[in-house]
Amino acid sequence: METKYDEELGIVIPPEQDCLVISSTGKAENTDVIARKPNPDRDNSDLPSSCRCDLDVVQYRLDSDPKKKITSVLQDKKGEEKDKNYYMEEIELHMKRTLKPAVLIWYLGHGGSETGSWCFRGGRITFTDVLHLYQQHFRSKLLTLIIDCPYAGNWGLSCVEEFDRMGIPACGHQAKRRGYMIKVFSSCHRDQIARELNYSVDSVRFKDDGLYFYAEKLPEGQKPFHLDFTKITCGQKPNAECKAPHDWRWKDLLSGNLSQRCYLVRGRDRDKPAWHYVVLHDEESIRTQFLERIQGGTIDVVNFGQVLASGWGTDPPKYIKALLPHF
Ligand SMILES: [Zn+2]
């Protein structure tokens, strides 16, 4: 099946998705299992009366999108807790059974202290566990993870580490070529405790890009953290050849280091206005020389780095600006 892209944002548009919802609010056996903070004053009066708790809101959000179908809701209730293996098998079955080229897994509930791992009786599920299932059973298809638990932001960071460890350059072209199309949406940053109802009520609205709206900040400073690893960052169209240099790392994309190496150079070429996007070689001396040279006179940008894109006119098209390297 052909992968569709939002050309302005440079990200994969999810096709129809089968959705698995896992809610873990059972007994916290260990002190490092952190529950989300309750949120008794949360105003969800604009939601239907069927939305009595967070899990209801999650189901309502998914049901509201015709391209998402809930196939299973697993609730790890107090007194009926199941173990890690049970949930690993359910995730595996979810990937194996679906006939669709995309799945979504939404986890809400307890999170492991400092890790955001999904907590069950006798064990935790980490990003690496889910990645292994994806590699075995769902490779080259689209996996969307939505994680609403304390320290959830660690999931996106784990994906950054895994992709860098595997040597995948930081562009959606490269990830896709290696068989990875993954989006990780976390309800809070790596060092934050999520509150109940915050994310599902105020941050999640689905559109073609998977999630199109999220509050920048929620009560108590909770801040969602969304990383889309399908994002094209090399300034090329989705179906064009990738121009990301091999040393682009996802870690540098996230920290902004890559965008600091990229420059838009406006000038004249054969007497006509022209622009070039160039990524400088990763050396301080090159950068210093480049910054001196662009102050005036002529410059041959290929001497300083790799040209990602060029064109005539004073400004590049809008989509090029959006594709520049940032998450
Ligand atoms: Zn690329």
Which CATH number goes with the domain that contains 103? 3.40.50
Asked whether residue 183 falls in the same domain as residue 272, the answer is no
Distance 98 CA to ligand 1 centre (A): 29
Within a domain: residue 235?
Answer: no
Asked whether residue 110 falls in the same domain as residue 209, the answer is yes
Within a domain: residue 236?
Answer: no
Distance 262 CA to ligand 1 centre (A): 14
Within a domain: residue 238?
Answer: no
Domain that holds residue 16: 5-228
For residues 105 and 94, is the Cβ–Cβ distance under 8 A? Answer: yes
pLDDT at residue 306, as a whole number: 87
Distance 73 CA to ligand 1 centre (A): 37
Within a domain: residue 247?
Answer: no
For residues 155 and 184, is the Cβ–Cβ distance under 8 A? Answer: yes
Distance 280 CA to ligand 1 centre (A): 16
**What would you measure as the largest C-alpha separation in the chain, in angstroms?**
77
Asked whether residue 182 falls in the same domain as residue 284, the answer is no
Within a domain: residue 246?
Answer: no
Q: Which residues of the chain have pLDDT under 70?
A: 26-29, 209, 321-327
Q: Report the C-alpha gap between 124 and 28 in whole angstroms.
A: 12
Q: Report the C-alpha gap between 135 and 88 in whole angstroms.
A: 14
Q: Report the C-alpha gap between 57 and 186 in whole angstroms.
A: 16
Asked whether residue 162 falls in the same domain as residue 297, the answer is no
**Residues in the 5 Å CB sphere of ion ligand 1:** 171, 173, 234, 242, 244
Q: Tally Cβ neighbours within 10 Å of residue 25.
A: 20
Helix axes 127-137, 154-165, angle to 10 degrees: 50
Please state, in angstroms and as integers, the Cα–Cα distance from residue 252 to each residue in 206, 221, 224, 259, 309, following that order.
29, 25, 20, 9, 20
Asked whether residue 207 falls in the same domain as residue 108, the answer is yes
User: Which single residue is written with the structure tokens 């809610």?
Assistant: 23
Asked whether residue 139 falls in the same domain as residue 211, the answer is yes
Distance 253 CA to ligand 1 centre (A): 13
Within a domain: residue 21?
Answer: yes
Within a domain: residue 308?
Answer: yes
Distance 174 CA to ligand 1 centre (A): 6
Asked whether residue 275 falls in the same domain as residue 212, the answer is no
According to DSSP, the residues that pair with 147 across neighbouring strands are 107, 186
Asked whether residue 154 falls in the same domain as residue 294, the answer is no
Asked whether residue 294 falls in the same domain as residue 151, the answer is no
Give this prediction's pTM: 0.90
Closest CA to 197 of 179, 215, 183: 215
User: Which residue, of 175, 208, 228, is where some domain finishes?
Assistant: 228
How many domains would you assign to the chain?
A: 2
Asked whether residue 210 falls in the same domain as residue 261, the answer is no
Distance 225 CA to ligand 1 centre (A): 23
Within a domain: residue 105?
Answer: yes
Distance 116 CA to ligand 1 centre (A): 30
Asked whether residue 272 falls in the same domain as residue 141, the answer is no
Distance 10 CA to ligand 1 centre (A): 10
Asked whether residue 166 falls in the same domain as residue 59, the answer is yes
